Amino acid sequence: MIHNYNFYSHGKLLITGEYLVLLGAKALAIPVKFGQNLRVSEISELSTLVWNAKEMGKTWFTGELSINDLEIITSSDQEIASRLQFLLRSCRDLNSTFLNVAVQVDTDTNFPRLWGLGTSSTLTANMAAWAEIDPFQLHWKVSQGSGYDIACAASSSPIIYQVTGRIPSVKPIVFSPPFCDYLYFVYLDKKQDSAKSLGDFIRNDNSIEEPIRQISEITATISKTADFSLFVKLLDRHETILSEILRQPTIKQTLFPDFPGVVKSLGAWGGDFVMAASSSPENDVVSYFESHGFRTILKYSEMAR
């Protein structure tokens, strides 16, 4: 009997705690309305794994691997095929019975991969579900990241995330402040290599217990406050703390010094999405970013689950 399986995981955004979440800081993260689907179809006539990856319905990668040893037979991109091979072999390391029949796998993200909403993390989460293994164990084998994105992949609500010694703590919360309409997500048209960014941060790590405590406190307050002025003040303070640690100017200082509100980096600094918070009329906010060349602007309600 031929079996088919379907898996889906949510993308993510890290609102607070970037970088320091790796060292134990509490972080506010949200699953987003975008994600990735993975469909597995058994194929009895072949002895291979056939892979077809799509972005919004358009194929961007194809590959074929042997079932027995997961060697790459053909691929449209050798580097991507090698990453896929590593992920598959990691799944098999955690479950020796994984992938013992020929299959065709079709993946599809319903967002542009360059947005940085979690193409890798949603794939990892889907693969863990397929292989019937702990998604965090798989994550630790293939990534240096904190795992907050893996937590978001299966969450239906925002979370407070903390990890200590590779033991994750995931606390679902209600995050729906009365000023949600004042929050926007703006894509900077620049894909950030989060793996490289995290690696650089880890290599440059110093003793920063006090900033970790401060960021954790900011996360706790931001996640609960209904006061927009306090929210903005804390976002600005968060940016200042990370700017000092990373020895980089804030994104507002660099690109948006005259914006009437706060602009905060999300995740790895320098790319992907930023969050803008402003009580100015929506048309004014949108016009501001468009005048600076940034046209992908989503309101909080359009992005967050």
pLDDT of residue 203: 47
Q: Where are the beta strands (DSSP E) in 44-193?
A: 48-55, 58-66, 72-75, 103-109, 159-164, 167-172, 183-187
Q: Which CATH class is domain 4-172?
A: alpha beta
Cβ atoms 45, 103 nearer than 8 A: no
Given a cut of 80, whether residue 46 has pLDDT beyond it is no
* CA distances (Å), origin 88, targets 81, 138, 148: 10, 10, 21
Q: 102 or 207: whose pLDDT is higher?
A: 102
> CATH topology of 4-172 equal to that of 180-303?
no
Helices and strands in the chain, H and E counts: 10, 12
Position 208 scores a pLDDT of 82
In CATH, which of 3.40.50.300, 1.10.150.20, 3.40.50.1820, 3.30.70.890 is domain 180-303?
A: 3.30.70.890
List CB contacts of 227: < 8 A, sequence separation 6 or more. Answer: none
User: CA torsion sign, 144 to 184 to 254 to 215?
Assistant: negative
Rounded to whole angstroms, the Cα distance separating 26 from 117 reads: 20
In angstroms, rounded to a whole number, what is the distance separating the alpha carbons of residues 232 and 222? 9
pTM: 0.93
Helix 78-94 × helix 135-142 angle, to 10°: 130
**Domain ranges, ordered by start, for the chain:** 4-172, 180-303
pLDDT at 161: 98
Provide the pLDDT for residue 271: 72
The stretch 225-235 carries a mean pLDDT of 98
Number of other CB atoms surrounding residue 243 within 10 Å: 17
Q: How far is CA 142 from CA 93, 231, 259, 295, in A?
A: 12, 35, 39, 34
For the stretch 65-111, pLDDT in tens is: 999 999 999 999 999 999 999 999 999 999 999 999 999 999 999 99
The answer to whether 252 and 263 have CB atoms below 8 angstroms apart is yes
Q: What is the DSSP string of 106-133?
A: EEEESS-GGG-S-HHHHHHHHHHHHHTS
